Amino acid sequence: MSDFPTNWGRWGDGDELGAVNLITDEVRARGAAEARTGITVSIARVTTPFPLTGGPMASTSAATTAVQTAMLFTGFGAPAMAEVMIVTTHHPEVTHLDAMGHWIEGGRVYPGVDAADSSGPTGVRHGAADVYADGILTRGVLLDLAPGGRLDPGHPVTGADLDAAAARAGIEVLPGDALVVRGGWSLINAGGQALPGMTLDAVRWMHEHGISVYAGDIGDARPPLPGEVPGALHRFALGRLAIPLIDAADPEELAKVCARLGRWTFQFVIAAPRIAGTTGLPVNPLAVF
C-alpha cells in the first residue's frame, strides 16, 4: 500500500480539518447555489432510543444501544419534561461523523500526531469533531449504486461503480463535493447476509475526484471482501486521505427525492452539536434543494 496516495502533510503538520480544506470559498458558493427552494431532506437514520429503565416501567430487553434515554423526574407537578441521553456515537444505529481523532494508523493520527498526544482518558486533543463547529457546507452529489433496489450481498464497490452511477445521473463530480452513496444496505438491515463495502479502488476514486466528505449506507464490508484490503474506507479514506466519514447515513429518502426532482446535486449541510473533544458526534446531514 506504500504507493497509495496520502494527504498527511498536504495542509500542514497541525491540520485537523483534512479534506474539508478542499471546500474553498468557490466550492462553498457552488454549494449555496444549489439551495434554491430551501426544501430539505434528512440523510440520517431514525435512531429510536432505548429507555434506560426496566421492569414494571418498561421492557426488559433492548434492541439496540446506540442511544438510550431516561425521562427525568422533574418534580411533582413540574411544568417541564426532560431526559438524559446516553449516546454511543460510533454505533451503526446512529448516523455520526468520524473525525480525524477517531483513527490511528501506525500509532499516529492524521497528519502524523502521536496517538498519545491526540487521545487521553479525558478526551481528544487533536482532530476532535468540533473542529467542524461552523458546519460543513458544500455541494453534495448522490451516487445511487442500485436505483430502486439494493446491491448484491458482498458486492465490492469500485470506482467503476461510482462512475456508472454518475453517468446515470448525468453529473460530474467536482473537487470539494460531498459524496453521498446509496447501496440499499446497513449493518442493521443486513439480516446476517454479507454486507457490500467500499474497495481501495473506490477510495482511490474519491481521492482523484477530490471528495471532501463521505456519507453513505455503504461502508467497510462485514465480513471483509475476499481479495480486498479490509477496512479500506476507514483506513485509507479517513486514516490516510483525511476525508471525514458520515457513518450509517440513510439516503433512502434522498434517493426518492432526487429521482422525483431529476436532480442529483444539492447543498449538503452538516451541523454537529458543538461538543468539544470527541472522536465523533451524531449528526443529521441535510440535503437542501
Chain residues 15-44 in contact with its own copies, contact rule CB under 8 A: 25, 27-32, 35-42, 44
Indicate which single residue of 5, 135, 147, 223 sits in contact with its own copies (rule: CB under 8 A).
135
Query: Torsion angle of alpha carbons 274, 279, 281, 283, nearest 10°?
Result: 110
Q: In this chain, which of 2, 13, 14, 46 binds its own copies, going by CB under 8 A?
A: 46
Touching its own copies, residues 238-267 (CB under 8 A): 239, 267
As measured in angstroms, the least distance from the Cβ of 241 to its own copies is 15
Q: Stretches 132-140, 153-161, 166-174, 204-212: which one binds its own copies (CB under 8 A)?
A: 132-140
Cβ neighbours, 10 Å, residue 264: 21
Residue type, 241: L
User: CA–CA separation, 130 vs 115, rounded Å?
Assistant: 18
Evaluate whether 44 touches 284 at the Cβ level (below 8 Å).
yes
Ranges within 180-209 binding its own copies (CB under 8 A): 187-188
Contact 110, 96 (CB under 8 A): no
- Tell the smallest beta-carbon distance from residue 163 to its own copies (Å): 27
Residue 246 CB, nearest approach to its own copies (Å): 12
- Write 64-72 long-range contacts (CB < 8 A, 24+): 64/91, 64/93, 64/188, 65/91, 65/93, 66/91, 66/92, 66/93, 66/94, 67/93, 67/94, 67/282
CB of 214 to its own copies, least distance (A): 16
Catalogue the E-assigned strands of 129-193.
136-144, 156-157, 178-182
Strand order in the sheet with 280-282: 40-42, 286-288, 265-270, 136-144, 178-182, 213-216, 245-247, 96-98, 280-282
Q: Which of 1, 5, 9, 71 binds its own copies (CB under 8 A)?
A: 71
Minimum gap (Å) between residue 33 Cβ and its own copies: 8
Asked if 58 interacts with its own copies (CB under 8 A), we say yes
Stretch that binds its own copies, among 71-79, 146-154, 162-170, 199-207 (CB under 8 A): 71-79
From the CB of 137, what's the least distance to its own copies, in Å? 5
Among 9, 12, 54, 149, binds its own copies (CB under 8 A): 54
Give the C-alpha separation, 98 to 274, whole Å: 14
Q: Which position among 18, 101, 183, 244 is part of the footprint of its own copies (CB under 8 A)?
A: 101
Work out which of 55, 148, 192, 226 binds its own copies, going by CB under 8 A.
55
Q: Which 146-185 positions form the footprint of its own copies (CB under 8 A)? A: none
Query: What is the torsion angle, in degrees rounded to the nearest 10, for the CA atoms of residue 11, residue 17, residue 23 and residue 28?
Result: -140
Q: Give Rg (Cα) of the chain.
A: 19
Which is nearer to its own copies, 71 or 160 (by Cβ)? 71
**Contact residue for its own copies among 85, 160, 164, 261 (CB under 8 A):** 85
Least separation in angstroms between CB 250 and its own copies: 8
| Cβ at position 212, least distance to its own copies in Å | 13
